[in-house]
A and B are shown apart, each in its own frame.
Chain A
Amino acid sequence: MQLRQDRMTSLERIDALFNYQKPDRISVGAMSTGFNTKNAGFTVADAYEDPDKSFKAMMWTTQQYGWDPIPQYAGHTVLGAWDFGGEVRMPQGEYEGALVITSYPVKDEGDIDGLEMPDPKKAGRIPRAMRFSELQAAHDIPVFFFSRSPFTMAANISGIDQFLRWTMKKPEACEKLLRLSIDHIFNVLEYWVETFGPDMIFAWMSSPSESNQLISPGTLKKFALPYHAEYHKRLKKLGIKRFGLHVCGDQNLNLPLLAEASPWQHPSVLSFGHEVDIETAAEHFPKDIIYGNIEPAVIQTGTPEQVYELSRVAIEKGKKAPGGFILGPGCGLPVMAPPVNVWAMTKAANDFGWYD
């Protein structure tokens, strides 16, 4: 097929979006940790374990599919269970696609007071994430800092079942874990700012444990939103201007509360799953850049024609988003996604995504 010639570089396209200017065409991106390394002939574990291989895989995959750096990362910078002393192992075997927690640092409420703040330079996979960020900086692409939301991270320290029970029965235990989580995020963020300066950093957050498949808007309001507000106050104080939030899963019931609070600077990138319609997202967040929302399971199990059609529809809706639009999967790109299905998103952007 004939691809039209881009009139902007990837960085110019992202700059245009962050300045409310129309880029040459719809931007395309993907959260693609394990897919990258598989695509480049490495293992899924390499995405988490080997920052050099992971970076190389990301760069080639990004070029192959014409993605822009929103976001470009390989795994989390900070993690709850691992950083706070739990046991985590690399993905292995035929069917694992992410890190596996084998032991949580908090097994019962009594463990919380014994938790120690993780070393912001050495805990978990922070050293590997730092190496990855150094490679990003060396290649003049934004340095991504990826955390879960404090609510999601706190649940990751104690195990989600226990944490959700505590939201009802032991809210003080939740608050303690939330405080530890947000303070840890910022201890590490300060290290990133000291190393790269705030202008280079693109902070990214995902919030899967806040989905309405798990919690009510009431629980979001009580336990999660206050920490979103604090996160952005502290982010601003550090001078970090670019931020993205992956609003993971079905968060339709949360949208009014998130829109009312919207504590982030505008525009920020807000990434949505297939459960949230692009038009709905744009109505709630007109000052932000909407990113999404092709269903990952369809990218993995469907046909290229299905992915192409879903992408066409998303682009048609996304072009009308007042804050701008980026096409991409609605969550992490499946590790085993057929390359033609991934390519179908790029083809749709080429065929329908131009602004002229």
Chain B
Amino acid sequence: MVSEEKRTELLKKIHDSVVEFEEETSVKLCTEALNEGIDPYDAIMEGLAAGMETVGGLYEQKEYFVPELLLCSDAMYAGLDVLRPHVKVDKSVKTVGKIIMGVIEGDIHDIGKTLVKTMFEAAGWEIYDLGKDVKLEKFVEELKRTEADVVALSALMTTSMLAMPKVIGMLKAEVPEVIVMVGGAPLSLEIAKQYGADGYAKDAVAAVQEADRLFKKVA
């Protein structure tokens, strides 16, 4: 059994490997954590996810920008690939909520959605990522299939954002209580309200905070 001191040190190192975007180090340390008998769920939450939380703070303080975020995300996912197969089932289902996300039809710009996905992953959400240029009907089908709590829609173009009010109407008609969030460069809180969305976030970090707020309000 690993000592408390060693456990704390290893989890801190995993955290740091994410913050310092050291993908290979993250893999090495996560493997070491497994070998030392550290619960993989704890290694994810206290190491990798905690690292991404720190990264989110650095992004908000404008110390990190998208290149750093992408590399931190790579380090987190590399570690997750090592740990996830070993997570015990009862703990793996302990998610915050279910979220469907995708870049809306007519739009192939998915860098923002990629970052949003990473932050939700780190925050413990169960994610259904539909990718980019997603047909409106696909969001509704996925909602019916997964019974997700939240649907997050992304758009970078002023043309593609025009699809948002339509798909929000379709989603609400199917599941009136579903929480729909929108984001992307041309969006704003005012436009989100106008389109009938429940929430809006200006970036990936804010998206998780907003989803948490809306989800707690409903729950």
Give residues in A with beta carbon < 8 Å to B. Answer: 34, 44, 91, 93-98, 100-101, 160-161, 164-165, 167-169, 212-216, 219, 249, 253, 296-297, 300-301, 332, 334-337
CB pair A164 B67 closer than 8 Å: yes
A160 to B158, CA, bound (A): 20
CB pair B161 A297 closer than 8 Å: yes
A300 to B157, CA, bound (A): 11
CB pair A215 B187 closer than 8 Å: no
Q: A96-B106, A249-B185 are in contact. Are A219 and B67 (CB under 8 A)?
A: yes
Q: A94-B163, A95-B163, A215-B66 are in contact. Are A296 and B158 (CB under 8 A)?
A: yes
Q: A98-B159, A165-B70 are in contact. List 11 more A-B contacts (CB 8 A).
A: A96-B160, A97-B159, A97-B160, A167-B67, A168-B68, A213-B185, A297-B158, A297-B191, A334-B159, A336-B159, A337-B158
Contacts of B68 in A (CB 8 A): 168
Give residues in B with beta carbon < 8 Å to A. Answer: 21, 62, 65-68, 70-71, 74, 104-108, 111, 114, 157-163, 185-188, 191, 194
Contacts of B158 in A (CB 8 A): 97, 296-297, 300, 332, 334-337
Identity of the chain B residue whose Cβ is nearest the Cβ of A167 in the assembled complex: B67
A212 to B65, CA, bound (A): 8
CB pair A168 B21 closer than 8 Å: yes
A94 to B162, CA, bound (A): 9
CB < 8 Å A-B pair total: 89
Identity of the chain A residue whose Cβ is nearest the Cβ of B114 in the assembled complex: A161
Q: What are 10 residue pairs bridging A and B, where the CB atoms are less than 8 Å apart in the complex?
A: A95-B105, A95-B163, A96-B157, A165-B67, A167-B67, A214-B67, A215-B66, A216-B62, A249-B185, A335-B158
Identity of the chain B residue whose Cβ is nearest the Cβ of A96 in the assembled complex: B106
CB pair A301 B191 closer than 8 Å: yes
Choice from B106, B111, B163, B191 contacting A161 with Cβ under 8 Å: B111
Choice from A100, A165, A219, A297 contacting B186 with Cβ under 8 Å: A297
Nearest-Cβ distance from residue A300 to partner chain B, whole angstroms: 5
Choice from B65, B70, B74, B108 contacting A100 with Cβ under 8 Å: B108
Nearest-Cβ distance from residue A298 to partner chain B, whole angstroms: 9
Contacts of A167 in B (CB 8 A): 67
Closest 7 pairs between A and B when the two form their complex, measured CB to CB:
A95-B106, A97-B159, A334-B158, A297-B186, A164-B67, A96-B106, A216-B65
A95 to B21, CA, bound (A): 37
Identity of the chain A residue whose Cβ is nearest the Cβ of B23 in the assembled complex: A169
A296 to B159, CA, bound (A): 11
CB pair B107 A95 closer than 8 Å: yes
CB pair A95 B104 closer than 8 Å: yes
Contacts of B106 in A (CB 8 A): 93-97
A300 to B194, CA, bound (A): 12
Nearest-Cβ distance from residue A173 to partner chain B, whole angstroms: 13
Choice from A44, A95, A297 contacting B187 with Cβ under 8 Å: A297
Kindly name the residue among B159, B187, B188 whose own CB sees the greatest number of chain A CB atoms within 10 A: B159
Contacts of A98 in B (CB 8 A): 157, 159
A215 to B65, CA, bound (A): 5
Identity of the chain B residue whose Cβ is nearest the Cβ of A212 in the assembled complex: B65
Contacts of B67 in A (CB 8 A): 164-165, 167-168, 214-215, 219
CB pair B65 A95 closer than 8 Å: no
Contacts of A100 in B (CB 8 A): 108
A122 to B71, CA, bound (A): 38
CB pair B162 A214 closer than 8 Å: no
Nearest-Cβ distance from residue A324 to partner chain B, whole angstroms: 28
Q: A93-B105, A95-B162, A215-B65 are in contact. Are A169 and B71 (CB under 8 A)?
A: yes
Nearest-Cβ distance from residue A347 to partner chain B, whole angstroms: 21
A337 to B159, CA, bound (A): 9
Choice from B21, B65, B163, B187 contacting A219 with Cβ under 8 Å: B65
A34 to B186, CA, bound (A): 17
CB pair B194 A95 closer than 8 Å: no
Identity of the chain A residue whose Cβ is nearest the Cβ of B69 in the assembled complex: A164
Nearest-Cβ distance from residue A337 to partner chain B, whole angstroms: 8
